[in-house]
Structure 1
């Protein structure tokens, strides 16, 4: 395993950001255990430093991007997508989204004020906090797996963004409510999804520019951090499940874009599905890395995860002994799946990849 090397040249801004976050997640703080046993500290979670406490959520959404004139005929444009070909408004005004990646893209294109409804994840049951107050206030329209079509129809949208991966059987019903476009997959093709959703939103050119800008930022981050010298582990606790995330996952792709290496097991070299692998507590050695990033999918998973992280097998890991374990926002690392979330991961890397929890 690579041993992380100190950063040789770091900007003043990066040093400031690192100091702020590591101070926030230092071990000098105290865990606040509620009656249900779940640790909700803003300083650390079972010894893992918490990243992102100082994240700006007030100005996260971009200014409204200009309408892309390409492909417009009259007041509509034709969009080819995973479920067919659809005529959509050239500049939609009432938008419903049925997956979390689409919320990120709407925010990245500055169209958050046009959202009239959005499906939510089952374990959380609310809109993602990292996208700010406007997105948080968007009315829920069921869950990602079971959107409420009657409620959607009542909102009178003029565009619905959905996913063939989530609800392939609902396309006809959704299309009867409003023009609907579907992306094929979730996560593995996230950059292509940003551009396709951006095209349906009338801002395909701006979406491509946002992806390109992220790619440049990822490369720059990796060079600044000398990231190729570190193998990062990504662990997610879900209710009753421990997952290790591989190179085809959203977070895994961002790490690759930033030049971060992965521990041998987490490359999932021989696996058909390189997004993630599930492990048992007895297999926690597969979570080892120079640095470990941990996330929790909801409060139930957090309670279970804390219990595992306070156990002997977890404490035997080298990164745990070296205090190089960081708790990250599940909404950003796992369910955001867009350019804003990807930049959030880059910010977390800047604050932690070559640092230690005090």
Structure 2
């Protein structure tokens, strides 16, 4: 009987030590990370977290997230250039140069202004990236997953563009690649500015939308032409806004710009693509821009849908540079 009690006591002690050891290991793991990923060999590595400050708040994001939903086409452009995979995008109105994201390999997460929240929630994404068209739904997105707002500040285009790129590069651990691409784009913008500034010729920017036109000046949605590329404004009193200042063709004739840059909204949002027929009329034919063949129809994929991406900004520079050199 004594021998039995000794064996029982030893077994009880062994069980107690084992339980304490397991509890201590679990507690230590929790203190280290708050969440952990299992790895071979039984070791748990803490997932690195990054705090991103943006216009709509502060968001804690896991480094190098795998399941990513992107609503901002400029960010999608940049991530595509950096070789980052995404899981879901709004597949309507995708810029033609990003048409690969229209395939069934990617989840269609709704429209730019009508997200499919149910589908997004079912995807359980690690990160959601939005911009101005979705900012009113920021709180709803944030209930599903960490959400980061990235939009170019048109009052400070290139610095804002660089900041957004740097943020994405930091999240996805692509700093070296991003730095290389940024250096190229910035050098191209500076070179274009020198060429434009040497000419000292004025420009007017308009958005054509189903028979109507709106003008955009410095600090506006398309103000990069003035603020970064160096074109003086034909009218310095244009109100800076997202939707532009509604103007008439008499106004365009009165301004008589050396260059008239036109963005055709209808070409990318399902409207009537008839910008040239609308813009080139008896009034605008009197302008220097028309007479010198300097009415330029800019690619709306880059200018209207996906501004602020590596490819889009580079192509913006090329489009304008080709006019200067032509």
The equivalent residue for 2:237 is 268
Shift of 1:286: 5.6
Shift of 1:296: 0.7
The equivalent residue for 2:189 is 218
For residues 71-125 of structure 1, what are the alpha-carbon distances to aligned partners after superposition, in whole Å with 9 as ceiling and x for unaligned? x9633322222333322121122211122222222123221xx2222236xxxx3
Q: Out of 28, 49, 69, which is 1:76 matched to?
A: 49
Find the residue that maps to 1:79 and give its secondary structure: strand
For residues 187-217 of structure 1, what are the alpha-carbon distances to aligned partners after superposition, in whole Å with 9 as ceiling and x for unaligned? 4454233333444444466545544432222
Relative to structure 1, the CA distance from residue 301 to residue 234 in structure 2 (aligned partners, 3 Å threshold; closer, same or farther) is farther
- Distance (whole Å) between structure 2 residues aligned to residue 279 and residue 225 of structure 1: 26
The equivalent residue for 1:31 is none
Structure with higher helix content = 2
- The two structures have a TM-score, normalised by structure 2, of 0.71
Shift of 1:240: 5.0
For residues 212-241 of structure 1, what are the alpha-carbon distances to aligned partners after superposition, in whole Å with 9 as ceiling and x for unaligned? 432222112333566543323222212353
The equivalent residue for 1:130 is 97
Find the residue that maps to 1:142 and give its secondary structure: coil
1:280 paired with 2:242, answer: no
The equivalent residue for 2:210 is 239
- Distance (whole Å) between structure 2 residues aligned to residue 210 and residue 296 of structure 1: 28
The equivalent residue for 2:66 is 93
The RMSD of aligned alpha carbons is: 3.1
Relative to structure 1, the CA distance from residue 226 to residue 248 in structure 2 (aligned partners, 3 Å threshold; closer, same or farther) is closer
Answer whether contact 1:92 1:159 (CA < 8 A) is retained.
Answer: yes
Q: For structure 1, which runs of at least 5 residues remain unmatched after alignment? A: 1-71
Q: 1:193-208 alignment to 2 at 5 Å?
A: 193-203=164-174, 206-207=177-178
Find the residue that maps to 1:143 and give its secondary structure: coil
The equivalent residue for 1:15 is none
Relative to structure 1, the CA distance from residue 251 to residue 167 in structure 2 (aligned partners, 3 Å threshold; closer, same or farther) is closer
Structure showing greater Rg: 2
Answer whether contact 2:202 2:231 (CA < 8 A) is retained.
Answer: yes
Q: For structure 2, which runs of at least 5 residues remain unmatched after alignment? A: 1-44
- The two structures have a TM-score, normalised by structure 1, of 0.66
Relative to structure 1, the CA distance from residue 309 to residue 170 in structure 2 (aligned partners, 3 Å threshold; closer, same or farther) is closer
Q: Out of 150, 169, 172, which is 2:118 matched to?
A: 150
Answer whether contact 1:249 1:274 (CA < 8 A) is retained.
Answer: yes
1:308 paired with 2:278, answer: yes
- Distance (whole Å) between structure 1 residues aligned to residue 225 and residue 46 of structure 2: 37
For residues 158-190 of structure 1, what are the alpha-carbon distances to aligned partners after superposition, in whole Å with 9 as ceiling and x for unaligned? 210113x33344223222322211236664454
The equivalent residue for 1:170 is 137
Relative to structure 1, the CA distance from residue 349 to residue 136 in structure 2 (aligned partners, 3 Å threshold; closer, same or farther) is farther
Aligned length: 273
Relative to structure 1, the CA distance from residue 233 to residue 227 in structure 2 (aligned partners, 3 Å threshold; closer, same or farther) is farther
Q: Out of 115, 124, 133, which is 2:86 matched to?
A: 115
